[in-house]
Amino acid sequence: MPQLRIRQQRQLFEEPLPALGVRLPLEVKEQLRQTLVQWMQVQARTIRMEVSDEQDHR
């Protein structure tokens, strides 16, 4: 039983992950990165507004 567990841990932590099947052009990656940053900024702004609204109602 311990041997099986050791083998499974090696598979999880030591073997490299398979390469992704799709390689995006650099310009597409950059556009996706910028879009993700904008989305995260909107989410953060929304959360701050909700927290502010909750504190105002006290």
DSSP calls for the chain: -HHHHHHHHHHHHTSPPPPPS----HHHHHHHHHHHHHHHHHHHHHHHHHHHHHHHT-
Residue 24 contacts by C-beta under 8 Å, 6 or more apart in sequence? 32
Looking at residue 39, its pLDDT comes to: 97
Query: Do 32 and 24 contact (CB within 8 A), yes or no?
Result: yes
pTM to 2 decimals?
0.53
Domain boundaries, the chain: 24-58
pLDDT, tens only, 21-50:
788 899 999 999 999 999 999 999 999 998
Structure tokens at 28: 């597409």
